[in-house]
């Protein structure tokens, strides 16, 4: 039996069970693996180990997506993550300060040379430095940051020059302002999809910076933004490829929404 897409999150696991699965069932056919750690369990003993992840990388060289949920990764070296990954998701995990950090030796190969898609959800330790580390070592196409309250405008500013190939950016519950949006518009010219949800502050001035994103096809603006209808129309009319506009949560009257729709006949709402 070939195990290709394996989701173990609903199950209570142990190190012994994972080693058994790895020895008996997880082979070169494995493409996707999703695992729930022991961060919130009663025993508090994390069963994910460097040896297990290194063995996973050797035995499953075709693994391209790894999803870790509620895992304590603070004792795991970053270089034990399988190098074959093209996509990684961390959700409600604990990570050390030095994660995603480049080796001091220039001869040491990059840890995740093929990584293109990174999703970080409610990882409280994820910081400006983490973003700079990972963006400077990879060619990300998709980046989702949700609930990363340590991420600031400075983090976006420093990482943006390394994210010029990014095609999809999602920022939810992040503490950023117009200053960060300026650097997104300045450097991330290949963006096709952009979402701002529940960020602290985005005004008309910041929104205007998005007019530089000529490849943008989808724009999602949600929640407590201080945006005027005229500013939304102006920036959207400056985006020739825009086809999808989501204004969920922005408190506009129906008449205002109809006015925006009439001004953007090529957009779906």
User: Which pLDDT score, from 0 to 100, does residue 103 have?
Assistant: 64
Residue 123 has pLDDT above 80, yes or no: yes
CA-closest candidate to residue 26, choices 50, 60, 58, 68: 60
Strands 142-146 and 5-7: unpaired
CATH homologous superfamily of 140-269 equals Ribonuclease Inhibitor (3.80.10.10)
On average, the pLDDT of the chain sits at 91
* Contacts of residue 140, Cβ cutoff 8 Å, sequence gap at least 6: 115, 116, 117, 118, 134, 163, 165, 166
* DSSP H or E stretch at residue 56: helix 50-59
Residue 104, pLDDT score: 60
For 210, phi then psi, to 5°, come to -75, -10
Q: Give the tokens for residue 175.
A: 């503490």
**How many distinct helices (H) and strands (E) make up the chain?**
8, 10
Run of H or E including 197: strand 193-197
d(CA 31, CA 246): 33
What pLDDT is attached to residue 17? 92
Is there a contact between 98 and 130 (Cβ–Cβ < 8 Å)? no
pLDDT at 140: 97
**Given a cut of 70, is residue 108 above it in pLDDT?**
no
pLDDT band at 208; cut points 50, 70, 90: very high
What CA–CA distance (Å, rounded) separates 50 from 80?
Answer: 6
Q: Over 90: is that where the pLDDT of 249 sits? A: no
Q: What is the pLDDT of residue 53?
A: 95
The per-residue pLDDT for range 57-95, each reduced to its tens digit, is: 999 999 999 999 999 999 899 999 999 999 999 999 999
Secondary structure (3-state) at 258:
helix
Can you give the pLDDT at residue 98? 87
Would you kindly state where each structural domain of the chain is located, as residue ranges?
1-99+111-115, 140-269
What pLDDT band is residue 47 in, cutting at 50, 70 and 90?
confident
> Residue range 98-124: average pLDDT?
84
Instruction: Please choose, from the candidates 235, 160, 250, the residue with its C-alpha nearest in 3D space to the C-alpha of residue 197.
Output: 250
Tokens found for residue 96:
């050390």
């Amino acid at each position: 039996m070939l195990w290709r897409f394996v989701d173990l999150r609903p199950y209570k696991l142990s190190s012994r069970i994972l080693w058994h699965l790895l020895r008996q069932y997880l082979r070169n056919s494995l493409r996707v693996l999703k695992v729930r750690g022991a961060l919130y369990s009663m025993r508090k003993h994390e069963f994910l180990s460097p040896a297990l992840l290194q063995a996973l990388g050797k035995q499953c060289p075709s693994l391209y997506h790894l999803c870790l949920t509620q895992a304590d990764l603070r004792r795991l070296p970053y270089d034990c993550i399988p190098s074959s990954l093209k996509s990684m998701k961390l959700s409600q995990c604990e990570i050390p300060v030095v994660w995603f950090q480049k080796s001091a030796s220039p001869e040491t190969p990059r840890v995740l040379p093929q990584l293109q898609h990174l999703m970080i959800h409610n990882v409280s330790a994820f910081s400006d430095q983490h973003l700079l580390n990972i963006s400077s070592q990879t060619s990300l196409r998709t980046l989702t940051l949700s609930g990363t309250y340590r991420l600031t405008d400075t983090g976006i500013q420093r990482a943006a020059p390394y994210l010029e190939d990014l095609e999809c950016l999602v920022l939810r519950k992040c503490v950023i302002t117009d200053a960060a949006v300026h650097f997104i518009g300045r450097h991330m010219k290949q963006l096709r999809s952009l979402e701002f949800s529940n960020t602290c502050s985005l005004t008309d001035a910041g929104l205007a910076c998005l007019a530089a994103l000529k490849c943008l096809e989808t724009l999602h603006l949600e929640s407590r933004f201080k945006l005027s209808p005229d500013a939304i129309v102006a920036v959207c009319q400056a985006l020739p490829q825009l086809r999808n506009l989501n204004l969920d949560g922005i408190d506009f009257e129906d008449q205002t929404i109809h006015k925006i729709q009439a001004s953007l006949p090529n957009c779906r709402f």
